[in-house]
Amino acid sequence: MLKRRIIPCLDIKDGRTVKGINFINLRDAGDPVELAKEYARQGADELVFLDITATIENRKALAGLVERIAAEINIPFTVGGGIDTIEDVSILLKAGADKVTVNSSAVKRPELISEMAGEFGSQCVVVAIDTKLIDGEWIVFVNGGRTPVEYKTAAWARRVEELGAGEILLTSMNNDGTRSGFSIDITGEVSRSINIPVIASGGAGTMEHFSEVFFNTACSAALAASIFHFGEITIPDLKKYLHKENISVRL
């Protein structure tokens, strides 16, 4: 089996890394360039950079900051926030991103996924799905987790695969920032129902949470933010733990 990936996430607001709980109550977590350099040094497999207020503020992701980060790291780097045209994607790839991620714009205009895949290849198209359990159903949310839409999560994941997405970043809003563990149920359902990689996101608090999601779902990667930003778990220690648990990771 392919090695499981560990991915720190940099949520960016006003040029700073921030982290909240259930998508609200944001607090400062440091300089994104310095954090990116440190994660690359520690052995992160990839980085995700999300300009979390770009869509709400009706602006584009910060290409200048992307350039600064890309100049300092040598690992794959995914960027999202405010992307809704092929030109937006081109700007970010030229700035140094390896992949781009779309969420609200893909829900609003699903053909954007096919356009991106056709122009740049599926390998650089990541569709982010923010999902919340409501009345027993996992529902897709857009606009930075503010607005529910009509799509059920697993069905939307299947559709974006058909449209040409190369990967899905699946965040459980119920678990986000709670450090209570990843959502095994929806991560398992989505990763079993599609053939493209799924990144599990939302809820990491301990090393055991990573082994649980890898043992109990078919996800390809696990993403976390605050436990890395605030130094509670280091990537080398996490990878050593996972290796001892017989989970294949890049050491």
Residues marked as catalytic: 11, 130
Pairwise CA distance, residues 205 & 183, whole Å? 12
Rg (CA), the chain: 16
Residue type, 10: L
Element (H, E) at 67: helix 63-70
- Partners of residue 244 on adjacent β-strands: none
Distance from the Cα of residue 224 to its chain's centroid: 9
Pairwise CA distance, residues 83 & 102, whole Å? 6
Structural contact between residues 131 and 170, judged by C-beta atoms closer than 8 angstroms: yes
Which residue has 């300009």 as its token pair? 51
Question: Token pair for residue 161?
Answer: 């695969």
Using DSSP's 3-state secondary structure scheme, residue 142 falls into: strand
Q: Exposure pattern of 204-213 as b/e (b: 16+ CB <10 Å)? A: bbbbebbbbb
Computed from CA positions of residues 60, 65, 69, 70, in that sequence, does the dihedral angle turn out positive or negative? positive
